[in-house]
Amino acid sequence: MSTTLSFTRETTVGAIVAAQPGLARLFEHLGIDYCCKGKQTLVQACAQRGLDTATTLVLLQSAADALGDSPVEIDAAGMTLTQLADHIENTHHAYTKVELPRLVEMADRVAAKHGSYDPRLFEVSASTRNLAEEMFDHMEKEEVALFPLVRRIETETEGSCARSMIATPIRQMELEHDDAGRAINHLRELTDDFSTENPCCNTHRALLAGLAAFEADLHRHVHKENSILFPRVLELTSPSSTQACTP
């Protein structure tokens, strides 16, 4: 059965994936950034990648039809703000806390053993370590400061100081998402798109596969915040929906 798309060439790519999460895979295949650049319209994103918008819409329709018979991905857009914050922590933050230290350790080993053969491996090691440090700092800010504010706002029935202060940390998190996106793109460039065709050893192969998997999770992680959680929080705390700041 065909699924009629509810978006057009002027719909943002972030909104498309928010409505139909399974279409994220097609965007990744096309090289369209739906997380850090999720506010771009489909036509803008296609222009940036040199893609024909009409053809891309046809591909999206085909992918949407195929998804009709596939397992449903998690409906982040249908969650409450608290549920979504909990989901991001328990799924993406938990994965990152386990996976990045493993990737750092492997990157260090591969660079130490094979860096003389491919000097880029030293930069891969340093870049992976820097990414890990930035991500851990970023997640701590969200878990200690931002997400508790989000949960508090959702449960309050009156205006509060939490509502008036939320926009600034959200903007900071978005900027840090951009930094993480640039970092993973740099790692992709250093590794020839995480190619495992000619790895130096099995550890190198595992590192490349791990970086590719981390990139895919990072895209979903950032998308859920930039295109779903943050816009909903900002809409809830816009001037028209807030009252005077109360203790």
Q: In this structure, are residues 151 and 207 in contact, taking their beta carbons and an 8 Å threshold?
A: no
Residue 79 neighbours by CB distance under 10 Å = 18
Three-class SS state of 194: coil
Instruction: Fill in the amino acid letter for 156.
Output: E
Distance CA 43, CA 29 (A): 17
Model confidence over 170-207: pLDDT tens digits? 999 999 999 999 999 999 999 999 998 888 888 999 99
Entry pTM: 0.77
Distance CA 38, CA 59 (A): 19
Distance CA 96, CA 101 (A): 8
Instruction: Give 3-state DSSP helix, strand, coil % of the chain, rounded to 5.
Output: 75, 0, 25
Q: In this structure, are residues 33 and 185 in contact, taking their beta carbons and an 8 Å threshold?
A: no
Model confidence over 109-165: pLDDT tens digits? 999 999 999 999 999 999 999 999 999 999 999 999 999 999 998 887 554 555 667
Angle between helices 167-190 and 120-141 (to 10 degrees): 160
Asked if residue 244 has pLDDT above 80, the reply is no
Who wins on pLDDT, 213 or 63? Answer: 213
